[in-house]
Amino acid sequence: MNVEIIVIGDELLIGQVTDTNSGWIARELNHIGWEVTEITTVRDRSREITDALNSSFGRVDVVLMTGGLGPTKDDITKQTLCDYFGGKLVFDESVFANVEAIFRRRKLTMNDSTRNQAYVPNVCTVIQNSVGTAPVMWFERNGKVLVSMPGVPTEMKTVMKEAVISRLREYFQDHSSILHRTCLVKDFTESRLSETLSDFEAQLPACIKLAYLPTPGVIRLRLTARGDEESYLQKIIDDEFFKLRTILGSHLFCGSDTTLAGALGSILTERGETLATAESCTGGNIAHEITRVAGSSVYFKGSVVAYSNEVKARVLNVSSETLSGFGAVSRETVLQMVSGVQRLLSSDCAIATSGIAGPGGGSVEKPVGTVWIAVRYGERSEAECFCFEGDREQVIARATQSALLMLIQLMTK
């Protein structure tokens, strides 16, 4: 089943808010074998919403809409849908009771704007929003369905999980399946990996496709199987994934769709080992990425953000001779930082960074974007100098990913 998403909100089109709802919806629908084929973002304008609906319904039978359902005057989605489907707004006692219950739980006082949330088109089926005041509205016409949901991510996700997905599956009686297996591969360029896997791709069953998703230093490979019998798809995708692992060997260092921090965490968890970081130019961003992974407390000891030379010397035992002779941004400094934090926090492995994230502070010898990274595993250490392009945020992000990958490579040699 193909689905389109319409996202409503001026704030999205001026870049004030980022649309995260569409990606989440696409992932959830993929689990049941449905595909999002197009996403349209429009302003809070009745004509633009109507044009988007006409266009989407010309292609698919299911349209999911988010946004424009608040109590303020700029939220005109409800009235627009009422006009589009030929109905009128009526007061719904069940919606009002739901809003009252939510306000009681939150110990808030009802006002007229919030009370107006109980007005809904009389041509829709209401699905109660258990965590917000905006009702979910289900419209049907000529076998096609529109579901209008609030734009607040927590509310949208709740109603999708509680009611919308199951109702859609029941309505359309579509039992197709889509299964994915994703892995992370290192030490390959995309073109060389494609050549290595050319024979493997040629023998894939017709229902399975291989996709390459490259990022700096790492390529995600995704096998996707489509069909009507999930158990059959599961068997053949597992078989093909086993062949892929056999071909790539240790280059396939993670068998799941995760971040580099997640992949490193899996290695550490499997080995029962621990990690610490010493960060200068990355300012704790590596620790942030690591601790975003659920369960990282099992293996992550902590971090020292040694932004000043004083902290590098007093906390991490970087020698004054090293700092004066080679500078903070040097191979010698990061090697002492990484061994220092390993000793300080008694970890099995460690990462250290020192560099110039910009926009100022660079020189001819060490331009903006210069970052030294050191990693340590047991008694083995490695250090490498990078010169990243981009603004300050991009330099920090690229240094973070490079540092994580360097430790993975050292641990999996």
- For the chain, give every domain's residue range: 2-171, 177-254, 260-412
The predicted model gives 308-327 an average pLDDT of 97
Amino acid residing at 283: G
For residue 297, the model assigns a pLDDT of 97
What mean pLDDT is reported for the chain? 94
For residue 74, the model assigns a pLDDT of 66
Q: What is the pTM of this model?
A: 0.75
The predicted model gives 400-408 an average pLDDT of 96
For residue 31, the model assigns a pLDDT of 84
Q: Which of 110-124, 270-284, 355-369 has the lowest mean pLDDT?
A: 110-124
pLDDT tens, position by position, 179-217: 999 999 998 999 999 999 999 999 999 999 999 999 878
- State percent of the chain over pLDDT 90: 84
For residue 228, the model assigns a pLDDT of 85
Q: Is the pLDDT of residue 71 over 80?
A: no
For residue 126, the model assigns a pLDDT of 95
The predicted model gives 127-156 an average pLDDT of 94
pLDDT tens, position by position, 143-177: 999 999 999 999 999 999 999 999 999 999 887 78
Say if CB 98 and CB 128 are below 8 A apart: yes
What is the second-level CATH architecture of the domain 177-254?
2-Layer Sandwich (3.30)
For residue 168, the model assigns a pLDDT of 95
User: Look-up: residue for tokens 């060389």?
Assistant: 192
Question: Is the domain covering 260-412 a CATH 3.90.950.20 domain?
Answer: yes
Task: Identify the CATH assignment for 2-171 out of 3.40.50.10860, 3.30.450.40, 3.40.1280.10, 3.40.980.10.
Answer: 3.40.980.10
**Could you tell me which of 37, 28, 32, 25 has the C-alpha nearest to residue 177?**
32
* Bridge partners, residue 256, by sequence: none
- Residue 268's Cα: distance from chain center in Å? 22
